[in-house]
Structure 1
Amino acid sequence: MSELVILGGSGLVGSDLIRLIPAGRPFLVLGRNPPPSAPSSWKPFDPIHGDLRTAAPEARVLLHLAPLPLLPGLLGRKLPPGINRIVALGSTSSRFKRDSGSGRERRIAQEQIEAEAAIAEWAERMRVAWTLLRPTLTYGARDRNITRILSFIRRFRFFPVTGGGLGLRQPLDVSDLAKGCLAVLDNPKTYGRSYDLGGGETLTYRAMVERVFAVAGRTPRIVNVPRTVARAGLRVMAHHPRWPFIDPEMADRMSADLVVDNAPAQDDFAFAPGPFRPERCLEGARSHV
């Protein structure tokens, strides 16, 4: 019987988390695209149209690693009746992008905020213990953050920044995030609470990029670009089908501090993330070149 169900196991965090699950704890992984070598603990599952009552009827604990706005649609009529614990991953975009000058980014932030509220309301009403984790800039093999910086550096041998790239960052290794997910599963201190999670090292955006240059084996060539020029360039790039994630607001965020307080997580579940290790992204960068 698999009481622990992991939804979204084929994503960035899932592979690290699955390796960390203690031996002897049965689990079931659900995802849209199980890897070809997936063991019997994997099942294909559509988080939008799927029904967890059918896919995992014996589930008691749900670890939701898929995009947070998908979870409210699964609550109630699509959840197994025995569910008594939910741990879900959100994003600090609900905090850092809610006042963005980009309508698209504000919508993303609002979707996160509304999903958080819906999950908490439903769980409290149904007396289901819930915990929400909001990671900051997350990195690892196949990530969409540091890996893209590394790929850009390898291809063009320089990297542009605005405002000197002096905004602070806390890059969070996906393995540390995975450990955090498992640490809260059976921890009553975390019930009914949300936590912002950052990495164990705080550094400027520029210093972060310099560390990526070192991993790429390149001498740092960081070019300070005027904000207006950077925004114009990003606006053009945003129309290219290869870069749907690009937004002109990225230029402004390079000089903004995007950091959180890890103290509540440290106190409640001994969250202890390590320093920034961009070498973790080397494997993923090959697929972005």
Structure 2
Amino acid sequence: MDAKIETEPGSSLVIGGTGLVGGYIVEHLVRRGERPQVLSRSQRDGPGIHWCRGDLTQPDPLTLPPFATLYCTADAILLADRLPRLFSPPLKRVVVFSSTSVLTKQDTEVASEQETIRKLTDAERRIAAACEQQNVGWTILRPTLIYSEGRDTNITPLSRLIRRFGFMPLVGGASGLRQPVHAEDLAIGAIAAASSPAAVNKTYALPGGGETLTYREMIGRIFDGLRLPRRTVSVPPLLWRAAFGLAKPLFPGANVAMGIRMMKDMTFDSTPAIEDFGWNPRKFNPVFD
């Protein structure tokens, strides 16, 4: 990705550095010659990384060496509560991951999702307000559907279902539009945003690059990545609702709204991110071993 980097890299703290996107951030910072600090709940070690033990969910004070840039790929709701204790004179930039779900799930019928979206929206507001009060530049990044073959909780579970059953049920033709985005591209984008003055005090959607797919085509490419023939079964929405209780054991962690959303467009404009920090993610062509 063509990043617009206009400031010298400094010391960084990555919260969520053992997770999917955070792990890629750490990897790319090390490649750039940094020795990033990574906050972890358990004691760890590794070359080129300064591991700091701590937990955002605990009230214990965090004793950390100075850092100039804070990346958070962990729960933004937890960060909003703890951020005031992380401010120090060297800190200049805060880059936080949220989700486009704050927009796409506003009309969700699932009570737990409603509560999560309310809390996440409030967390974004509090993070921005706290940073501005301390004269620290902030950037909030809202990815679309995150994937990294074999590791994510969005695309990979679908690939496992397809591999197991050989087909995929699609609700109402699954015409809703999607823009899957690779976790590594998000990491590259976060580092670029942290280095771009144009990205200060802004919120960006980060959709996948180059194309917009129907949910049906996205599923088709998962079949392709598994080297399996595309086999889908169209399910009318009313039948999906009626049958979901029986089918739920086949889709652990799913809810009825997930199927209904196959018909809903969830797309976003990447132009601001392209212009401000060179956002240029890969197309969706997953490959599964």
Counterparts of 1:241 and 1:214, CA distance in 2: 22
Does 1:211 pair with 2:221?
yes
Which of the numbers 2, 8, 25 marks the counterpart of 2:16?
8
Q: Once the 2 structures are TM-superposed, how far is the Cα of residue 34 of structure 1 from its aligned partner?
A: 6.6
The structure-2 alpha-carbon separation of the partners of 1:237 and 1:84, relative to structure 1 and needing over 3 Å to count, comes to farther
Bigger relative contact order (CA 8 A; separation at least 6): 2
What residue number does 2:240 align with?
A: 230
| Bigger mean CA deviation after superposition, 202-211 or 59-68 | 59-68
Deviation digits for residues 150-204 of structure 1 (CA, Å, limit 9, x no counterpart): 0000000000011101100000011111110010112110010000010012110
Percent sequence identity over matched residues?
A: 36
Which of the numbers 168, 178, 181 marks the counterpart of 2:177?
168
What residue number does 1:202 align with?
A: 212
What residue number does 1:184 align with?
A: 193
Gaps of 5+ in 1: 284-289
The structure-2 alpha-carbon separation of the partners of 1:33 and 1:202, relative to structure 1 and needing over 3 Å to count, comes to farther
Counterparts of 1:255 and 1:8, CA distance in 2: 32
Counterparts of 1:98 and 1:107, CA distance in 2: 10
| TM-score of the pair, normalised by structure 1 | 0.88
Q: Once the 2 structures are TM-superposed, how far is the Cα of residue 48 of structure 1 from its aligned partner?
A: 1.3
The structure-2 alpha-carbon separation of the partners of 1:221 and 1:164, relative to structure 1 and needing over 3 Å to count, comes to same
The letter of the residue matching 1:162 is V
The structure-2 alpha-carbon separation of the partners of 1:52 and 1:143, relative to structure 1 and needing over 3 Å to count, comes to farther
Deviation digits for residues 90-128 of structure 1 (CA, Å, limit 9, x no counterpart): 001101111111111111211110000111111111211
Gaps of 5+ in 2: 1-9
Which of the numbers 219, 222, 230 marks the counterpart of 1:220?
230
Q: Once the 2 structures are TM-superposed, how far is the Cα of residue 37 of structure 1 from its aligned partner?
A: 5.7
Q: Once the 2 structures are TM-superposed, how far is the Cα of residue 226 of structure 1 from its aligned partner?
A: 1.8
Q: How many residues align?
A: 277
Q: Once the 2 structures are TM-superposed, how far is the Cα of residue 241 of structure 1 from its aligned partner?
A: 11
| Bigger mean CA deviation after superposition, 164-173 or 20-29 | 20-29
Deviation digits for residues 200-240 of structure 1 (CA, Å, limit 9, x no counterpart): 121100001111111112111100112123234444566x6
Deviation digits for residues 64-113 of structure 1 (CA, Å, limit 9, x no counterpart): 11011111111213544532211000001101111111111111211110
Counterparts of 1:69 and 1:189, CA distance in 2: 25
What residue number does 1:85 align with?
A: 93
The letter of the residue matching 1:160 is P
Counterparts of 1:41 and 1:208, CA distance in 2: 39
Counterparts of 1:217 and 1:241, CA distance in 2: 22
Is contact 1:134–1:194 with CA below 8 Å preserved after alignment? yes
Deviation digits for residues 135-162 of structure 1 (CA, Å, limit 9, x no counterpart): 0001004101110110000000000011
Counterparts of 1:96 and 1:23, CA distance in 2: 35
The letter of the residue matching 1:227 is P
Counterparts of 1:155 and 1:9, CA distance in 2: 31
